[in-house]
Structure 1
């Protein structure tokens, strides 16, 4: 019985040895993952366009305004975010918001409501049209238009040339679609009314060149004027002069068409841009 057990154990050991020899030898262990330490280097969202390539800035300057309002002042703020590299430069999405203010030279208007008011107090048609002293309210008079324009451009594309970076210069061109809010009022040059002089209804700032707002509204500080919302577009260009990696001086020209190409606003600006 003991001899049989010994023989059986020998067979088992021999089979195990042959099975182990048939197995493939284990290969070397897989290489451990390497974690590269980049230190404090600035990562670029789009390489070679300047850190992440974004810019924000404020510009201000002179404007040439539509509707006969003449020259004025304007300012704008913008934000550029890079979309990608293109030949010789980069393409960016731009958001722009601008305001413009102007006051026209004096010009002559005819106020039909003042004419009707003169007839209502008993003036003859000729006297009603002539106004004071034969009728209480002036019909033909000199006024100035005060114009305020708010321009919001939610979608613009901007192309910036980066091939001149060694000279610290970046020319650019941009274009986009606008929503424009226009508010105007006419202010008489002189108080000419014989009744209610210097105030409503005809000597205060005129809405649409016709009548002033009620004095109670004026006492509350409510702004007066007429306005409208128009669609528009803008196109322009300029030059960035890099003072450092994060700061530039910008010179800019922008043409804005309001409600088509018939009404145009020209903006000439300079300002600072911050890059990151």
Structure 2
């Protein structure tokens, strides 16, 4: 599997008039994962997790380009990976990294009406079919949207380690990525919160919501989970092995 990274090659968009770019914020440390290195570089089946993620995205032919937003001092990308552009303009938060990446794309002359799909580097189990489903659902939508799944479990409110209430789960969804919006619209939504340190922005959809938009919910998959805790690595390996 490690050799497969060399097969990352650009693919032109197949939709006339539809230009899609993928952007991966990759400047975090992932402290909850309990790894000695940033979790996006932790090996899974011998390959850094982020490269699994990139291989999945490179199999989506409608993605015009893939951009990784890394921390300024991150030397992981010094080698370079075909079909992947590394921008060392990551910030102290996810929102800052995404905003900086979008700003760079605009400064390079990228059309603000192009679509950008922001994806978590730690959602390495995403599949081309999920990304294609998101593009299919959002490409003609006036706002854009995100992958998500309906909340499957009973939800509890807590205080001091004890349950205070059972929260009605009807109509509640777990947000996933990619999240797909027009580049200019997402940049503007994030810019409106920048002066307040992106307060309240937990993902791209939340920024769009704060700007008055109502993003489309597109059915995702429970397997498209974000690796967050130590046990998640073993689960991801098991899923990759089951695919093989």
TM-score range, shorter chain: under 0.3
Q: Normalising to structure 1: TM-score of the pair?
A: 0.17
More strand by share: 1
Higher RCO, 1 vs 2 (CA within 8 Å, ≥6 residues apart): 2
More helix by share: 2
